Amino acid sequence: MPDAYELTPYDVIIIGMGPAGAAAATALSRGGLAVLGLDKDVHPRYKVCGGGLSARIDQVLGPGFQSVVEQSVNGVQFVYRGQDSLLIESPRPIAYMVMRDRFDHYLVQEAIQAGTHIRTGHGVVELTQDPQGVEVVTAQGRYRASIVIGADGANSLVARRFFPRRSQYRAPALESEVPIGDRGHGPAATTILVDVGAARQGYGWIFPKKACLSVGVGEFRRKSRSLRATFDRFVTDACDVIGRTVPRPGGHPIPVYAESEECGQEVDSRFVSGRAVLVGDAAHLVDPLFGEGIYYAIRSGQLAAHAILAHQGDHHEALAAYEAALEREILPDFHVTAKMAKVIYAFPRLAFKLLRRYQDVVQDYFEVLQGCSTAQQFLPHAKKRLKASVNDLLLEALHLR
């Protein structure tokens, strides 16, 4: 390990330059702080990810990111085990499709332009903190700062070092990029496919990109013994993929947000520890319903940066303000989507039938994805609508209507 310190200490060191780290770096550098961003990989780099950004991203990123959007999507084709196709559309985009190599590279360039010192190919191997600051070690150098942001993804070293009792829950997922070739996109380039029966406690997806279809399955449960078999079955059932060459899928865990108790044991649900703060996947800020993590990575990175800028010189205040911002803006929606996920993934066939019958409820959820409402606002209305219809169904069954 290198002995020499880099001479100047930084205000903040960010470990990981995915969406969470790059968003935090851009905001902190624009606010005038001295920021170092480290990533073990050299960008642009491939990342196993569906690359689906809900359209509410418009509210947190400037319009420049549209230069790396591959497709805008305004509809979802729901199927159940490849059958009973149901298309629900919106007049406005509900999501944008990106390839993570280009998207993440764009965000890193934004951070560089804002003034962040970025070192890619510099994996962090150790880090410690003391009352004066934090020390971060890579194979190439040692660095000091007042605060360290752990933006190092699902297998975060920062979380392991400073948050040993945090949740270990990670949902397994597999994905392959299937070349489009001469056949084109299939039914529509502006539609994503979601198969709610493809996986146990999860779903299968096909997301259209310019040159490929991102095809994957994820299961939101602790263990999955046969995810590869689930993936193979999904691609065999999916009309859009039949006849195409499907490259071997890559796997990566999705650190889905989980409530604070696991297997009867209390887990640490803090996001800050001393001078360390977690954002994005490192903090398990992934929506439990769809496994959407990019929006929350970017937003949590920005919230951490805003809190640090608002309380310069007092890291206790700054990091407490970050936790309060998460409690206000992100966690209430996760409490709702966790409940929805429990029901939908326990009874996927029933959920699919309800989707067909109550398409207006799905349209309402599109508004959540578009940033026009929140999951918290959505749930009471959806419950009322579904309760009323259960009554309708009963009355129909009794021939009273």
Ligand X SMILES: Cc1cc2nc3c(=O)[nH]c(=O)nc-3n(C[C@H](O)[C@H](O)[C@H](O)COP(=O)(O)OP(=O)(O)OC[C@H]3O[C@@H](n4cnc5c(N)ncnc54)[C@H](O)[C@@H]3O)c2cc1C
State how far the Cα of 332 lies from the Cα of 214, in Å rounded to an integer. 30
Give how far Cα 30 sits from Cα of 156, 293, 359, Å.
Answer: 26, 24, 43
Q: How far is the CB of 220 from ligand X (least distance, A)?
A: 12
Distance CA 267, CA 167 (A): 6
Structure tokens at 119: 């070192």
- Residue 249 as a binder of ligand X (CB under 6 A): the answer is no
Residue-wise burial string across 354-390, b where 16 or more C-beta atoms lie within 10 A, e elsewhere? bbeeeeebbebbbbbbbeebebeebbeebeeeeeeee
Q: Quick one: tokens of 267?
A: 């887990």
Complex with ligand X: residue 273 or 300, whichever CB lies closer:
300
Contact with ligand X (CB under 6 A): which of 14, 238, 294, 341?
A: 294
Q: Is the peptide bond before 208 cis (omega within 30 degrees of 0)?
A: no
Q: Which residue is nearest to ligand X (CB)?
A: 293
For ligand X, the closer CB: 134 or 294: 294
Q: Would you say 134 and 127 are in contact if contact means Cβ atoms under 8 Å apart?
A: yes
Between 111 and 130, how does the x/- string for binding to ligand X read (CB under 6 A)? ------------xx------
Stretch 149-178: interaction string toward ligand X, x if CB under 6 A: --xxx---x---------------x-x---
Kindly state the smallest distance separating residue 15's Cβ from ligand X, in Å. Answer: 5
Q: Interface with ligand X includes 188 (CB under 6 A)?
A: no
Torsion, Cα 218 345 380 325, to 10 degrees, reads -30
Q: What's the min distance (Å) between Cβ of 51 and ligand X?
A: 5
Alpha helices for 115-252 (secondary structure H):
157-162, 227-237
286 binds ligand X (CB under 6 A): yes
Q: Which of 195, 237, 281, 323 contacts ligand X by CB under 6 A?
A: 281
Interface mask (CB under 6 A) for ligand X, residues 353-372, using x and -? --------------------
Interaction between residue 333 and ligand X (CB under 6 A): no
**Pattern 49-88, ligand X, x by CB under 6 A:** xxxx------------------------------------
Specify the residue, 126 or 268, whose C-beta has the smaller distance to ligand X. Answer: 126
**Least distance to ligand X, CB of residue 350, Å:** 25
In the range 1-20, which residues lie near ligand X by CB under 6 A? Answer: 15-20
Q: Is 195 among the residues that bind ligand X (CB under 6 A)?
A: no
Site residues (CB under 6 A) for ligand X, limited to 254-273: 254
Burial class of residue 274 in the structure, from the number of CB atoms within 10 Å of its CB (0-12 exposed, 13-18 middle, 19+ buried): middle
End-to-end CA distance of the chain: 78
- Looking at the DSSP bridge assignments, the partners of residue 177 are 214
Q: Does residue 292 interact with ligand X by CB under 6 A?
A: yes
Q: Rounded distance, CA 269 to CA 301, Å? A: 17
Nearest CB to ligand X, comparing residues 120 and 373:
120
The values of phi and psi at residue 385, to 5°, are: -60, -45
Size of the site for ligand X (CB under 6 A): 38
Q: Which of 12, 13, 21, 235 binds ligand X (CB under 6 A)?
A: 21
Question: Closest Cα to residue 216, out of 226, 202, 204, 198?
Answer: 204
Compute the least distance from the CB of residue 49 to ligand X, in Å: 4
CA-derived radius of gyration, the chain: 22
Residues near ligand X, by CB under 6 A: 15-21, 38-41, 47-52, 123-124, 151-153, 157, 173, 175, 216, 252, 254, 280-282, 286, 291-295, 297
